[in-house]
Amino acid sequence: MSAQQQSEWGRVAEDGTVFVKTAAGERAVGQYPAGTPEEAMRFFTERYAALEFEVGLLAQRVAAGKVSPDEGAQAVRTVREQVSEANAVGDLDALVAKLDALGPVLAAQREARRAEKAKAIAASRERKEGIVAEAERLAEGTDWRNGANRLRELLEEWKALPRLDKAADDTLWRRFSSARTTYTRHRKSHFADQHEKRDAARAVKERLVQEAESLADSADWGPTAGRFRDLMRDWKAAGPAPRDIDDKLWKRFRGAQDTFFGNRDSANAALDAEFAANAVVKDALVIEAEALVAELEAGGDLEAIKRSFRDLADRWDAAGKVPRDRVKDLEGRLRKVEQAIRGVEDAQWRRSDPEKSARADDMVGKLQAAISEIESTLEQARAAGNAKRVAELEDNLESRRAFLEAARRAAQEFSG
């Protein structure tokens, strides 16, 4: 190799030794004795190109945040050592400078990540405190249907949150775990109590079903119907048995009820048909009774009307029972006649009661005296110009006069 190959960043000596130029001076990077100086220079510049590509790729990854600051710093150190000692020809100082320029970038990223992590930890702390508070509320409550599912959801959310410092995380976890344990213990106790109550209800309802079935064919309508009402009350008070058993027991209980009341309705329907003729008789009697009211209102003899009503009442009793759907109507109409007669009788007694007449007269006298006194006081208040007192006395006087008018009407009724 007779000639030297020169470039801005290196040279090839006559003996084939290749040198690279750096700020620290020139150093040998290798030999290429088998080829020309141009080939030797090309070989070592291509090595540089490969290093330049690697440095550029690392810079892109760091700038894009594709690696963590710690991973990026380690990669920069590794590549920098490779560049510093590289057996290549090119601007090695520029590559080192480019790698060194990544230091501030990585420092800024590290600080940003630290701030982001602190923010995430603060948010995690707030959320974990919220999870603990909700879990403790559930532990104090009785939402057995949804509480267990919600606690499982809270546990999965807890697992997905960033950890806090060990002391804070452990403290919150102990509270959360304790709340879950308390809720689970109370829930198990509740369902154990429910199971015990359902078993007790089962025993009660089995007994009620047996009694209901024994009464289903009874023809003792009144007492048996009353007993069925008692059995229904006891059924409701017993509470639920295990669901599948409860449904079966209810079907048996309801079946016994339906049998009894169906039989009773059939028997009552037969009786209603039998009593239809009695209703015809009582229809005529109630019309006759209502005619007595008309006679009474026309000023008829009260004593004669009372005798007629007593005779009618005897015939009413002798007529016998009527269909159930007619009882209320017929009895109600007869009762109105009886009340009308009694009302006239009572009115006559009140008018002839001497004691009440005397009390009414006494009331009239007292009210008249009170009114005279108030009128005198009112005149004095008007003379004194006491408007407030005048208004009070006028109101009082108006009220007393109204009472006096009512008392006079009552006295007139008694004297009449």
Q: Is the separation of the CB atoms in 58 and 18 below 8 Å?
A: no
Check pLDDT > 80 for residue 36: yes
Tokens of 161: 């949150």
Predicted confidence at residue 365, as pLDDT, reads 82
d(CA 129, CA 232) in angstroms, rounded, equals: 51
Q: What are phi and psi of 89, to 5 degrees?
A: -115, 125
pLDDT confidence tier of residue 1, bands split at 50, 70 and 90: very low
d(CA 132, CA 246) in angstroms, rounded, equals: 40
Q: For the residues of 71-132, what is the DSSP string, one character each?
A: HHHHHHHHHHHHHHT----S-HHHHHHHHHHHHHHHHHHHHHHHHHHHHHHHHHHHHHHHHH
- The sign of the dihedral angle between the CA atoms of 158, 160, 165, 170 is positive
pLDDT confidence tier of residue 351, bands split at 50, 70 and 90: low
The predicted-structure confidence for 148-167, as pLDDT tens digits, reads as follows 999 999 999 999 999 988 99
The predicted-structure confidence for 230-276, as pLDDT tens digits, reads as follows 999 999 998 888 888 899 999 999 999 999 899 988 887 777 777 88
Check pLDDT > 60 for residue 141: yes
Predicted confidence at residue 72, as pLDDT, reads 92
Predicted confidence at residue 117, as pLDDT, reads 86
Predicted confidence at residue 3, as pLDDT, reads 44
In terms of Cα–Cα distance, which of 276, 358, 270 is closest to 323?
A: 276
| Coil vs helix vs strand at 22 | strand
Predicted confidence at residue 295, as pLDDT, reads 85
d(CA 381, CA 386) in angstroms, rounded, equals: 5
pLDDT confidence tier of residue 93, bands split at 50, 70 and 90: very high
Considering the chain, what is the average pLDDT of its residues?
87
pLDDT confidence tier of residue 21, bands split at 50, 70 and 90: very high
Q: Identify which of 102-106, 187-191, 326-330 has the greatest average pLDDT.
A: 102-106
Contacts of residue 380, Cβ cutoff 8 Å, sequence gap at least 6: none
Place of tokens 């309705």: 265
Check pLDDT > 80 for residue 84: yes
d(CA 99, CA 80) in angstroms, rounded, equals: 7
In terms of Cα–Cα distance, which of 287, 295, 411 is closest to 344?
A: 295
Q: Is the separation of the CB atoms in 83 and 51 below 8 Å?
A: yes
Predicted confidence at residue 354, as pLDDT, reads 62
pLDDT greater at residue 59 or residue 193: 59
Angle between helices 147-160 and 166-215 (to 10 degrees): 160
CB environment 340-355: b (16+ within 10 A), e (fewer): bbeebeeeeeeeeeee
Residue 78: half-sphere exposure toward Cβ, Cα within 13 Å? 8
Angle between helices 243-297 and 166-215 (to 10 degrees): 60
Query: What are the residues facing 11 on neighbouring strands?
Result: 6, 19
pLDDT confidence tier of residue 222, bands split at 50, 70 and 90: confident
d(CA 5, CA 14) in angstroms, rounded, equals: 9
d(CA 353, CA 95) in angstroms, rounded, equals: 133
Tokens of 268: 């009552």
Predicted confidence at residue 35, as pLDDT, reads 80
Average pLDDT over residues 361-379: 82
pTM, full prediction: 0.42
Task: Beginning with the edge strand found earlier in the chain, give each strand of the sheet holding 10-12 in spatial order.
Answer: 5-6, 10-12, 17-22, 25-31
Predicted confidence at residue 319, as pLDDT, reads 85
Q: Is the separation of the CB atoms in 361 and 355 below 8 Å?
A: no
Percent of the residues in the chain that have a pLDDT greater than 70, as a whole number: 94
Predicted confidence at residue 406, as pLDDT, reads 74
d(CA 309, CA 306) in angstroms, rounded, equals: 5
Percent of the residues in the chain that have a pLDDT greater than 90, as a whole number: 44
DSSP letter (8 states) at residue 374:
H
Question: Among 20-34, 76-90, 181-195, 376-390, which stretch is predicted with the lowest mean pLDDT?
Answer: 376-390
Number of other residues whose CB lies within 10 A of the CB of residue 21: 18
Check pLDDT > 90 for residue 180: yes
DSSP letter (8 states) at residue 141:
S
Question: Among 145-154, 312-321, 383-392, which stretch is predicted with the lowest mean pLDDT?
Answer: 383-392
Residue type, 182: T
Average pLDDT over residues 120-131: 92
Check pLDDT > 60 for residue 416: no
Q: What are phi and psi of 141, to 5 degrees?
A: -95, -170
Predicted confidence at residue 144, as pLDDT, reads 87
d(CA 96, CA 258) in angstroms, rounded, equals: 101
In terms of Cα–Cα distance, which of 104, 179, 90, 84 is closest to 136?
A: 179
d(CA 393, CA 370) in angstroms, rounded, equals: 12
Predicted confidence at residue 29, as pLDDT, reads 94
